[in-house]
A and B are shown apart, each in its own frame.
Chain A
């Protein structure tokens, strides 16, 4: 049997010179080390952001303590700063965005998964995703020149007169119609979070086993009943995750809000009045801020925003992770 001898001479270990093997081992180690270092760097980036924000807000924290969170003053001249109006504006605009954005997003997701003719599925999904691709400054300039005047002329007078006699609501929607303000910011935000919530919701809706839906339809359920009693319970965790993801975006959104909110450091009882948010305050004032305390107060605002969005986004990711486990 000659062939045995031949196999022995062509065995890989004998064919590769030891120097080449060593070189490959070295390259393997280098490559592995580089990729590992890059992953650690990603972790460090977030750590560094947190450290920088904390470091930057020390002077402001020393000056104002926890009173910063509850004070309504914002006066660069006397160097008295409080975060409450900005926090309030951030929360109110985001809540408004969610109130409008969630039903519309769910509607679109239901449309795409249950109602839409097959040929229309791709174009509609693409259009919604392009909406997510439009930069936020474009929403800002559009909101300022198109949406705000439209709301001022046609929507806000109507809302004001509609709720004028209703106790509670009348002060919430009190005039005059400025056009720009908290209300307009909320509407712009609702358009901006729409694609995020829609795409997550559509994805988790697609994970519902066809058998479940078919059994419900087979029992005589209407489409709405299938959505309400089969799809939503099955995908609840994922849908909530998507909503939280949208909320995270809304809380931190900067440019679009900066254009339309009016940048007024006060808490107005009417949501039609100008206000401000954390990110809009930073965008508007940071470049012009004079003095260490002013800068530091703005950085502390950033830290507060970071903590809020971090909690919301972390919750979103954990929920989506749970939904993914279930989908498998």
Chain B
């Protein structure tokens, strides 16, 4: 039985399959390592003052209130601006212009926007808004985030609407519904869960985005809800504090990192559970 060819083939196979196992296990280990570090270092800084005080000056005590408020405001606004545009564009691609040149062009460009470096979006908004207003502002930050929401929502909206069977649309049309009612009351309703997943994924994405905020919303050491002024955000606080010489600033950076990661992972898992029943049906 000791045919050398068989032995060689068997050994090669075993080695490579062992490597595949190792690759999968190392992937899990890395995720576990990142999460465990975050929990250990981040939990140490969790306290009530975190949510009641703004980021401190050097050597003082403080929290993350201004950054949390800023992140929430800009994320919500970014989502509110970006989502309608994304849903409308996705609707055009799936409902009105299914095989038109415009749809192909938008799909291609949208896929590129989806993976384009987000720092370039920051440069663009800086050029268009910040230089004209002569200072960073929360509006500029929100617009930069909205530009990251659009491609995610366009993509999921189009894909989810395309999954809705045409027979549903035909049945509705046959009952005499005009096109906009067919889309609003039949197509959207059938694709609702999937479209919501897309929005959640978009929110998850912009929650952790730092690069586009660095020079659009910039940062603000104090609590501010003025949309025309610079505004603090959790990711920018992490960026500014992580490298600092003060231990309590670094601690705040870790805690901010924990808050962001928990939010993002919750949104991701929420989006996943929403879309699961769908994928099982199909």
Contact = CB atoms under 8 A, between A and B. Distances in A.
A219 interface: no
Interface stretch (B175-183, B191-199, B220-228): B175-183
B215 interface: yes
Contacts of B102: 36, 39-40, 43
A173 B85 CA distance: 50
Contacts of B84: 38
A252 B218 contact: no
Nearest to A150: B33
B239 interface: yes
Nearest to A123: B28
A12 B174 CA distance: 11
Contact of A133 (B26, B179, B239, B265): B265
Contact of A286 (B91, B123, B207, B260): B123
B37 A146 contact: yes
A162 interface: no
B12 A224 contact: yes
Contacts of B215: 286-287
A35 interface: yes
Contacts of A164: none
B242 A135 contact: no
B13 A141 contact: no
Contacts of A137: 208, 210, 235, 238-239, 257, 260
A42 B24 contact: no
A39 B89 contact: yes
A232 to B, nearest CB: 12
Given A27-B178, A137-B235, A141-B238, A254 B211 contact: yes
B170 interface: no
B28 A124 contact: yes
Interface size class of B (residues with CB under 8 A): 35 or more
A312 to B, nearest CB: 9
Contacts of B124: 48-49, 52-53
Given A107-B23, A141-B253, A224 B16 contact: yes
Nearest to A142: B34
A34 B253 CA distance: 43
Contacts of B95: 35
B17 interface: yes
Given A252-B117, A282-B123, A104 B27 contact: yes
B22 interface: yes
Contacts of A39: 88-89, 92-93, 97, 102-103, 106
B281 to A, nearest CB: 16
Contact of B19 (A12, A107, A248): A107
A299 B123 contact: yes
B210 A136 contact: yes
Interface string A51-68: 011011000000000000
A328 to B, nearest CB: 14
A72 B33 CA distance: 38
Interface in A1-42: 12, 16, 24-25, 27-28, 30-32, 34-42
Interface in A281-295: 282-283, 286-287
A299 B126 CA distance: 10
A306 to B, nearest CB: 6
Nearest to A105: B23
Contacts of B246: none
Interface in B222-260: 235, 238-239, 242-243, 253-254, 257, 260
Interface stretch (A79-87, A109-117, A205-213, A267-275): A109-117
A253 B91 CA distance: 31
Contact of B112 (A105, A258, A310): A310
B113 A115 contact: no
B112 A35 contact: no
Interface string B1-39: 000000001101100110111111011101101100110
Given A43-B102, A48-B128, 13 more contacts: A24-B181, A36-B97, A37-B88, A42-B150, A53-B124, A144-B243, A222-B13, A254-B119, A279-B119, A279-B211, A309-B116, A313-B111, A314-B108
Interface of A: 12, 16, 24-25, 27-28, 30-32, 34-43, 45-46, 48-49, 52-53, 55-56, 103-108, 110-112, 114-116, 124, 126-131, 133-142, 144-146, 191, 194, 198, 222-225, 245, 248-249, 251-255, 258-259, 279, 282-283, 286-287, 298-299, 302, 305-306, 309-310, 313-314, 317
11 contacts: A35-B88, A42-B113, A108-B20, A129-B272, A130-B265, A137-B257, A138-B208, A141-B238, A145-B242, A191-B30, A259-B242
Interface of B: 9-10, 12-13, 16-17, 19-24, 26-28, 30-31, 33-34, 37-38, 41, 84-86, 88-89, 91-93, 95-97, 102-103, 105-106, 108-113, 115-121, 123-124, 126-128, 147, 150-151, 154, 176, 178-181, 183, 204, 207-211, 214-215, 218, 235, 238-239, 242-243, 253-254, 257, 260-261, 264-265, 268-269, 272
